Amino acid sequence: MAGIIAQVYLGLLLTLVAIAIVPAALGWHATVIQTGSMQPHIDPGDVVVSSALSDDAPVPVGGVVQYRSPATAEPDHVARLRMHRIVTANDDGTYVTAGDANAEVDSTPLTREQITGQARLLVPFIGLPSLWIGHGNFLSLALVALLRTLPPRSSNPTPETVQVPADTADQELGAQLVPAGRPEPGRRSALALVGLATVGALVACRVPASTAGFTARTTTAGNTWTVAALPTLSLGRAAGYALLVATGIRNSSFLGTGSSVNGSVATSPGTSIDGFWPWDITGATDRNTTNARNARSDALTLYTALDAYPATKVIPPTLTGTLSPGVYTSTTGAFTISGTLTLDGGGDPSARFIFRATSITAAPRSTVTLTNDAFPNRVYWKSTTTITLGESSTGRGTYLASGDATASRNTSLYGRLISLNGAIAISRSTITNP
């Protein structure tokens, strides 16, 4: 009976090792968990398989990540790899992490550059032998071996020693000595079991992906973390307005030539809409009506929702060249569009572009172009102060300013211009609601 139990155990162990190793062919990596900070969901001795976070992938708020913790963040002042859950995205582009078992969040914020992988697969207890050896717990290792020790059926073993190198980058196990050769049959299974578990844990540091067993909500007896889903980005009742403003809109015309607004215009709580010829606006003109108030309310909701999306890239303040979908913030806080900026959707009609800044300026004669299924309804420009579209510039997307917004002479905008707390000034411009 003991032999049957041991064989079943060995078969289970083989299966777990295979699960940990097969993903390595795809370039993923694994780590043997050393502490209990992620219990009850991840225990010491478990192997967690992680995949690299691509440059255009959002940071997984609510997900478990492996990251480099600097020496300044560690109590013993020794840098190490950690695996914790991201629980909050900060406004400055950093992230708050916490162990599922910890009552407090980690004291040092995490940057995207520190993340080495996102957890994808949990293989339970397969790394226990390496953990025992690393902690000098040879008694546990010996007990596992005794489970499979049977009376010898032959003699004359010829033991020899083979050194198996460890991958210290992820597991810090050190070199280990594994008996090999031709041991007597009664002990062969025990040695194979121990060797298999140890080698499996060592090899597991080079593995790939599978369905994730990691959730966005964790609970322990003394702690609960809940990560809210990201809000939907929707203009709601503001969608039909090409111009939407809090205080007033002023259009500057010249010799009967004014601006062309293809869509509706609204103010709330202000009522001032001046300088337009009757034929300049194709839609409704709402001065603090119920529709205008509802539109401003939904625009404010969208403005707030844009902050909930974690930044995928912090880039220089001058926007030019080609950008892929993502959430962008500036190294200086402000953004200036210069020359031609191409937003490439990569063939994905759901591709989304978000630009968050302290101010947004389109240089004169600058152009924003959309390609490969990028659409203006999925491009958002958010400024905590002002937005200025320079003379003869071409813009695309929804522009939301907390303060004033300006469309200079001969501006062409395929989207919407919204000032949530200020005024809008336009001059002989063309605004087209997409």
Tokens 């790394």, located at residue: 127
Q: Nearest Cα to 52, choosing from 212, 208, 205?
A: 208
Q: What is the DSSP letter of 53?
A: -
Q: Which of 411, 322, 299, 320 is nearest to 364 (CA)?
A: 411
Q: Please give the backbone phi and psi of residue 291, each rounded to the nearest 5 degrees, phi first.
A: -60, -40
Nearest-CA neighbor of 433 among 263, 258, 302, 236?
263
Buried/exposed code over 315-353 (b: 16+ C-beta within 10 A; e: otherwise)? bebbbeeebbbbbbbbeeebbbbbeebebbbeeeeebbb
Whether 154 has a pLDDT exceeding 70, the answer reads no
| Average pLDDT value for residue range 370-385 | 96
Question: What is the topology classification, in CATH, of domain 1-229?
Answer: Umud Fragment, subunit A (2.10.109)
Question: Of 54-58, 167-171, 356-360, which range is least confident?
Answer: 167-171
Find how far residue 157's CA is from the centre of its chain.
Answer: 55
* CA atoms within 13 Å, Cβ hemisphere of 140: 14
Helix axes 2-21, 185-203, angle to 10 degrees: 20
Residues 6+ apart with CB under 8 A from 181: 157, 158, 159, 160
Q: Worst-scoring range by mean pLDDT, 278-282, 288-292, 341-345?
A: 278-282
What residues contact residue 36 under an 8 Å CB cut-off, 6+ apart? 43, 44, 101
Residue-wise pLDDT for 173-215, tens only, equals 333 333 444 444 444 455 455 444 444 444 444 333 322 334 4
Identify the residue with better confidence: 181 or 60.
60
100/104 Cα distance (integer angstroms): 9
| C-alpha to C-alpha distance for 293 and 271, rounded to whole angstroms | 11
Give the N- to C-terminal CA distance of the chain in Å, as an integer.
74
The token pair that represents 133 in the structure block:
């050896």
**CA neighbours within 13 Å on the CB side: how many for 327?**
19
The residue with greater pLDDT, 236 or 206, is 236
pLDDT-derived band at 333, boundaries 50, 70, 90: very high
Look at 35-44, 368-377, 422-431 and tell me which has the smallest mean pLDDT: 35-44
- Does residue 393 have a pLDDT over 50? yes
Residue that wins the pLDDT comparison between 425 and 178: 425
| Over residues 345-372, mean pLDDT | 95
pLDDT tier for residue 307 given thresholds of 50, 70 and 90:
very high
Say if residue 30's pLDDT is above 90.
no
Q: Does the structure show a pLDDT above 80 at 47?
A: no
Instruction: Find tokens 């070199």 and name the residue.
Output: 175
b/e for 47-64, b at 16 or more Cβ within 10 A? bbbbbebeeeebbbbbbb
Q: Is the pLDDT of residue 426 over 60?
A: yes
Q: Which two tokens stand for residue 22?
A: 């097969």
Tell me which residue of 393, 353, 399, 354 sits closest to 373, measured CA to CA.
353
CB 85 within 8 A of CB 63: yes
Among residues 208, 148, 105, which one has the least CA distance to residue 13? Answer: 148
Flag whether pLDDT at 305 surpasses 90: yes
Comparing CA positions, the residue from 71, 54, 201 lying closest to residue 118 is 54
Q: Does 311 have pLDDT greater than 50?
A: yes
* Interatomic CA distance for residues 414 and 391, integer angstroms: 15
**Cβ atoms 417, 360 nearer than 8 A:** no
d(CA 376, CA 4): 65
Give the ranges where 147-250 is alpha helix by DSSP (H).
Answer: 185-203
Burial class (CB in 10 A: 0-12, 13-18, 19+), 165: exposed
The structure tokens listed for 71 are 């020496």
Confidence at 43, pLDDT banded by 50, 70, 90? confident
pLDDT at position 97 is 87
For residue 415, the SS3 value is: strand
Give the per-residue pLDDT at 336. Answer: 98
Segments making up each domain of the chain, as ranges: 1-229, 236-432
Provide the 10 A C-beta neighbour count for residue 161: 9
Mean pLDDT of all residues in the chain?
A: 77
Number of Cβ within a 10 Å radius of residue 4? 8
Residue type at position 41: H
Residue 411 tokens read as 């501006």
Q: Best-predicted range by mean pLDDT among 40-49, 110-119, 126-135, 381-390?
A: 381-390
pLDDT over threshold 50, residue 163:
no
The bridge status of strand 223-226 relative to strand 387-389 is unpaired
C-alpha–C-alpha distance, residues 11 and 269, integer Å? 72
